[in-house]
A and B are shown apart, each in its own frame.
Chain A
Amino acid sequence: MVKMMTTRINGIAASPGIAIAKAYRLQHDTYVPTTSKIEDASAETARFRQAVEAAKQELEAIRVMTEQKMGAAKAEIFEAHLLLLEDPDLIDAIIENIENESTNAEYALNEVAGGFIDMLLSMDNELLRARASDVRDVSGRLMSQLRGVSYAAVSAINEPCILFAEDLTPSDTAQLNLDYVLGFVTEIGSRTSHSAIMARSLEIPAIVGAGAAAADIETGTMVIMDAVAGLVLVDPTAAELEVFHASKAAFDARRSELRKLVDQPSLSRDGHRVELAANIGSVEDLQKVLANGAEGIGLFRTEFLYMGRSALPSEEEQFQVYKHVLERMNNKPVVIRTLDIGGDKELPYMKMPAESNPFLGLRAVRLCLDRPDLFRTQLRALLRASAFGNLKIMFPMIAVAEELRKAKALLQEEKEKLLQEGVQVSETIEVGIMIEIPAAALAADSLAKEADFFSIGTNDLIQYTMAADRMNENVAYLYQPCHPSILRLIRMVIQAAAKEGKWVGMCGEMAGDETAIPILLGLGLHEFSMSASSILPARALMKGLSREEWAAYTEQILSMSSQESIHTFVKEKTRSE
Chain B
Amino acid sequence: MVSQTFTVLNPSGFHARPTKVFVQAASAFPCKVNVTKGGKKVNGKSSLSMLTLGIQQNEEVLLEVDGEQEEQALKELGELLTKIFEE
Binding site for B on A (CB under 8 A): 76-77, 79-80, 83-84, 86-90, 116, 119-120, 123-125, 127-128, 131, 134-135, 282-284, 286-287, 304, 308-309, 317, 320-321, 324, 328
Contacts and interface: CB of A to CB of B under 8 A. Distances in A.
4 nearest A-B pairs in the assembled complex, by CB-CB distance: A89-B46, A309-B58, A89-B49, A284-B11
Interface in B33-60: 42-43, 45-49, 51-52, 54, 56-58
A311 B48 CA distance: 30
Given A284-B87, A320-B82, A321-B84, A127 B12 contact: yes
Nearest to B27: A86
A400 B52 CA distance: 52
Contact of A77 (B16, B45, B51): B16
B81 to A, nearest CB: 12
Nearest to A281: B11
A80 B20 contact: yes
Given A89-B48, A283-B84, A317 B13 contact: no
Contact of B15 (A88, A127, A287, A304): A127
Given A83-B23, A120-B52, A125-B56, A321 B46 contact: no
B29 to A, nearest CB: 14
A128 B15 contact: yes
Interface of B: 7, 9, 11-13, 15-17, 19-20, 23-24, 27, 42-43, 45-49, 51-52, 54, 56-58, 82-84, 86-87
B52 A76 contact: no
Contacts of A120: 51-52
A87 B20 contact: no
A83 B45 CA distance: 10
B18 to A, nearest CB: 11
A324 B9 CA distance: 12
The A interface is mostly helix, strand or loop, or mixed, namely helix
Nearest to A288: B87
Contact of B58 (A119, A135, A308): A308
Contact of A317 (B9, B12, B15, B48): B9
Contacts of B17: 76, 80
Nearest to B56: A125
B72 to A, nearest CB: 21
Nearest to B17: A76
B11 A308 contact: no
A88 B46 contact: yes
B52 A123 contact: yes
Contacts of B48: 84, 87, 89-90, 116, 135
Contact of B54 (A88, A125, A135, A287): A125
A88 B32 CA distance: 12
Given A127-B12, A320-B82, 16 more contacts: A77-B16, A80-B20, A83-B20, A86-B27, A89-B43, A120-B52, A123-B54, A125-B13, A128-B52, A131-B15, A131-B51, A283-B84, A284-B12, A308-B58, A320-B84, A321-B84
Contacts of A317: 7, 9, 82
A130 B87 CA distance: 16
Contacts of B83: 320
Nearest to A73: B86
A308 B57 contact: yes
A286 B11 CA distance: 12
Contacts of B20: 76, 79-80, 83
Contacts of A282: 11
Contacts of A86: 27
A320 B19 CA distance: 19
A119 B48 CA distance: 10
A83 B47 CA distance: 7
Nearest to A197: B87
Nearest to B10: A283
Contact of B47 (A87, A119, A286, A324): A87
